[in-house]
Structure 1
Amino acid sequence: MALLTIRNLTVAFATASGSFRAVDGIDLSVDPREVLAIVGESGSGKSVSMLAVMGLLPDTATVTADEMTFDGHDLLHMTGAERRRIIGREITMIFQEPIASLNPSFTVGFQIEEVLRLNMGLSRHAARARAIELFTAVGIPEPAVKIHAYPHQMSGGQCQRVMIAIAIASNPRLLIADEPTTALDVTIQKQILDLLMELQERHGMALIMITHDMGVVAETADRVIVQYKGHKMEEADVLSLFEAPSHPYTRALLAALPENATGDRLPTVSDFFGQEGVQ
């Protein structure tokens, strides 16, 4: 049985001139312990789809779906109290731009301890001890010292590790990682990806990796969904996707990788579909 199931998800945003569909008829599922990558260029609706699952879209968004269930629980129609027992505990999310995601007014220790006290019911003393354990687990040096630091006093890579520690604090069954290596240098990117995969394997979590980087997909995923302009273009296991992509848009993405370049310029979507783009 799938852990998360979504059928015919549509997300529309109200605008001054009407509405705009950022996600249109998306189907997806993820099994326990599976790594699913959602890949596509900016604006393809990857993050919006998962923010809809988390219930974190603004009031201007209208979310509809034939089904959105987590372990048999209906995420669309549950009460706020029921949702709070799942979101942030059994389903957690690592957001883009870790420095912007952390509150600059509080130490990183306070922010993870707050999660532990609210979600796990730990005392202040136990939360502090557990926070140091989590910082150690995600590779933050001198965790007992860094716990007193503010986000601006830490590097981008360290802030991302703090976000990962917060996300795994409640031992979630599903972790959503939204562009977890954005704005990090190449060496730190590799460290963060290795850490996520190690934690996924150690804790037996399902992992949804949102990315535009096909290299990240190749390194991490069991299965891949390719999105473009809010639509699902293709779904395949990772080996099939790279060896024999079935959709022209997927072939365009793979052909645009620098290592696949055959001429003096990288191809664009219009090279595969004409000037009108994907239909």
Structure 2
Amino acid sequence: MALLEIENLTVEFDTVDGRFRALDGVSYSIDAGEVLAVVGESGSGKSVAMLAVMGLLANNGHLWADKLEFEGYDLLKLTTKQRRQIIGKDISMIFQEPIASLNPCFTVGAQIDETLKEHTSMGRGERKTRAIELLDSVGMPESKKALKKYPHQMSGGQCQRVMIAMAIACKPKLLIADEPTTALDVTIQKQILDLLLDLQHESGMGLIMITHDMAVVAETADRVIVQYKGKKMEEADVLSLFENPKNPYTRALLSALPENATGDRLPTVSDFHLGDGGAA
């Protein structure tokens, strides 16, 4: 049985101009121990599917699916209380913009403690020890002092490490990383990616990497989902995708990589006249 199964997931949002379909009949799954990359340009619906899984769609969002299951649990039928027992414990998510995702009014230690208090039976002292261990595991310098800091007192890379520490605090079975290296410099990007992969290998959890960076896909993924305008264009193992892409949009993405430049300028997606796309 797959760890997470999504079949024919559609998501729409109410707007002033009517309903906007952000995700259109997307299906895929992930197994324990697998790294799945979901790739596509901004607006392709990559994050929307994961927010639907987490139950975090905005109030104007509506979703339908033939199946949305985690370890056999029907996420469409869970009550709010039942979902809270899974989300943050068995399924965790690292959000974009870590500084914006952390609460500026509470210290790092308080925010990690809240996660542990919600999902474990640890006492206060045990939770503090665990918080220090978590910060140490993500390479946070002076972890004991970091517990007392507020997000604005830390760099972007340090805040990202805090987000990862919170996400892995309860040893999740599935970790969703949404553009985990956005706005970080190249050195920190590699450190974060290496950290996520090390954690994934050590624990055997499933890892969904949401990105528009094909280099990240090549470095991290076992399998790749390519999305465009809310639809799944292609699904393949990472080697097949790079060596023999089937869909025009996938070929457009790969052609836009600097190393594939053949003329005076890089091609863009618009050069491929994709229209609304179509799955391969």
Quote the Cα distance in structure 2 between the aligned partners of 1:240 and 1:179: 23
Kindly indicate whether the alpha-carbon contact (under 8 Å) linking 2:233 and 2:277 is maintained by their aligned counterparts in 1.
no
Distance 2:207 2:66 in 1: 23
Offset at 1:178? 0.1
Q: Which residue of 2 aligns with 1:257?
A: 257
- Residue number in structure 2 paired with 1:88: 88
Which residue matches 2:218? 218
> In the aligned structure 2, how far is the partner of 1:35 from the partner of 1:212?
16
Deviation at 1:244, TM superposition (A): 0.3
Deviation at 1:85, TM superposition (A): 1.3
Superposed CA deviations along residues 78-125 of structure 1, whole A, max 9, x for unmatched, are 111211111111000000000000001111011001111111122111
Please give the alpha-carbon distance, in whole angstroms, between the structure 1 residues aligned to 2:19 and 2:30.
30
- SS, match of residue 38 in structure 1: strand
AA partner of residue 153 (structure 1): Q
* Structure-2 residue corresponding to 1:29: 29
Equivalent position of 1:201 in the other structure: 201
Quick one: percent identity of the two aligned structures? 69
Aligned Cα root-mean-square deviation (Å): 0.9
Please report how far the alpha carbon of residue 208 of structure 1 lies from its aligned counterpart in structure 2 after TM superposition.
0.2
Structure 1 residue 273, shift from structure 2 partner: 1.9
Q: 1:30-52 CA deviation, whole Å, 9 max, x = no partner?
A: 00110000000000000001000
Structure 2: how far apart are the matches of 1:217 and 1:30? 16
1:17 and 2:9 equivalent?
no
Aligned to 2:277: 278
Q: Distance in 2 between matches of 1:271 and 1:59?
A: 37
Q: Deviations over 1:37-79 (max 9, x none)?
A: 0000000000001000000011100011000000000000111
Asked if the contact 2:34–2:206 (Cα under 8 Å) also holds between the matched residues in 1, the reply is: yes
Tell which deviates more after alignment, 211-220 or 81-90: 81-90
Query: 2 CA distance for matches of 1:278 and 1:265?
Result: 24
Paired letter, 1:90? D
1:58 matched residue in structure 2: 58
Pick closer, same or farther for the CA change 1:6–1:168 going to 2, 3 Å: same
User: Aligned equivalents of 2:173 and 2:277: distance in 1?
Assistant: 35
SS in structure 1 at match of 2:86: coil
1:269–1:277: 8 Å Cα contact kept in structure 2? no
Map 1:166-205; keep pairs closer than 5 Å.
166-205=166-205
Contact 2:229/2:276, CA 8 A, preserved across alignment:
no
Q: Which residue of 1 aligns with 2:122?
A: 122
Distance 1:230 1:170 in 2: 32
Q: Report what 2:98 is aligned to.
A: 98
Paired position in structure 1 for 2:7: 7
Q: Give 1:277 shift.
A: 6.0
Q: What TM-score comes out, normalization by structure 2 length?
A: 0.98
**CA contact under 8 A between 2:99 and 2:151: conserved in structure 1?**
yes
Instruction: Kindly indicate whether the alpha-carbon contact (under 8 Å) linking 1:254 and 1:260 is maintained by their aligned counterparts in 2.
Output: yes
Match of 2:149 in 1: 149
State how many pairs are aligned.
278
Structure 1 contact 270–277 (Cα < 8 Å) conserved: no
Instruction: Tell me the equivalent position of 1:134.
Output: 134
1:90–1:170 Cα contact (<8 Å) kept: yes
Cα shift readout 1:156-212 (whole Å, capped 9, x = no counterpart): 001000000000001100000000000000000000000000000011110000000
Contact 2:227 2:234 in 1 (8 A): yes
Gaps of at least 5 residues in structure 1 are none
Q: 1:241-266 deviations in whole A, cap 9, x for unaligned?
A: 00000001000000001111111111
- 1: distance between equivalents of 2:276 and 2:165? 41
Paired AA for residue 183 in structure 1: A
